[in-house]
Amino acid sequence: MNRPVGRVTRGTTGSNRLRRFDRWITYLAEREIRSDASPLSVDLGFGSAPTTTAQWQRSLRRVNPASQVVGIEIDRDRVAAAAGIITAVHGGFEIPTDRRPLLIRAANVLRQYPLDEVTSAWHLMSSRLAPGGWLIDGTCDEQGRLAAMLSIDATGQPVWFTVSVRLADLHTPSQVAARLPKALIHDNIAGSGIHELLEAMDRNWAAAPRWGARQRWIHMARTVREQGWAVRDSQNRWRLGELTVAWEQVAPD
């Protein structure tokens, strides 16, 4: 058998850590999840315990009770430890499932890789997706209060960049800068798209009326859009502390 593509990295995880991921993914792909007779989703790199994988499975089954989730880990001991809790498979970015997944969640995995390996990992993973599927490459803090995600389509091209933060704890939107995906974190320097977006978010957050964090975020999101950023969705998403823009506006040159 071929060796899995990638390498073992730290396995840090935590219960509830990926709730912001799961909420965004369900929203992004709800139609596809519902319309598939038995949608397959892959949790790539579930870490030292499969808690977030089991949580994601429950979340997806609320949308489609026939949802199947497979956890893929490159560390054999972590696969063995997850047996009986989730369906766990030893493997890597090649995604060794017997059918094409609709969704691949790679949370806090690529951040531990060198930048020059990111695009090839995206292409390898997304080449396994079912038509209309999504790969989510993202990063968050230990508690899952600050998260940033890229939604990548089946061609391997990022389409959306999403920030999702817990508003109750937030001082300023650019706190998420420390949690940017690998493809953006090194580019967060004056003049880049991602730096300008975070600056615009901070500026409009600071200028927003102090009605409370939720109203402030909604105001910020609306103003950022009026200023020319391709912000998608509306209050329904913004009230959750989410903001999504077209990747092309933040993509590194």
Amino acid sitting at position 180: L
Q: Of 18 and 208, which has the nearer Cβ to ligand SAM? A: 18
Min dist. Cβ of residue 160 to ligand SAM (A): 19
Helix axis angle for 19-35 and 51-63, nearest 10°, is: 40
Residue nearest to ligand SAM (CB): 6
Min dist. Cβ of residue 163 to ligand SAM (A): 17
| Binding stretches for ligand SAM (CB under 6 A) | 5-6, 8-13, 17-18, 44-47, 52, 72-75, 78, 92-93, 107-109
Q: Of 12 and 120, which has the nearer Cβ to ligand SAM? A: 12
Min dist. Cβ of residue 181 to ligand SAM (A): 12
Q: Of 13 and 204, which has the nearer Cβ to ligand SAM? A: 13
Contact 194, 122 (CB under 8 A): no
Contact 202, 216 (CB under 8 A): no
C-alpha distances in Å from residue 81, one per residue of 4, 18, 51, 92, 142: 18, 20, 11, 17, 21
Min dist. Cβ of residue 210 to ligand SAM (A): 33
Q: Which of 70, 72, 77, 58 has the alpha carbon at shortest distance from 16?
A: 58
Q: If you ran DSSP here, which 8-state letter would residue 7 be given?
A: -
Paired with 231 in beta bridges are 245
Q: Of 73 and 242, which has the nearer Cβ to ligand SAM? A: 73
Q: Of 25 and 197, which has the nearer Cβ to ligand SAM? A: 25
Q: If you ran DSSP here, which 8-state letter would residue 186 be given?
A: T
Min dist. Cβ of residue 44 to ligand SAM (A): 5
Residue in the block written with tokens 């071929």: 2
Scored b (16 or more CB within 10 A) or e, 80-106 reads ebbeeebbbbebbbbbbbeeebbbbbb
Q: Of 105 and 216, which has the nearer Cβ to ligand SAM? A: 105
Min dist. Cβ of residue 55 to ligand SAM (A): 10
Contact 93, 74 (CB under 8 A): no
Min dist. Cβ of residue 139 to ligand SAM (A): 8
Q: Of 110 and 224, which has the nearer Cβ to ligand SAM? A: 110
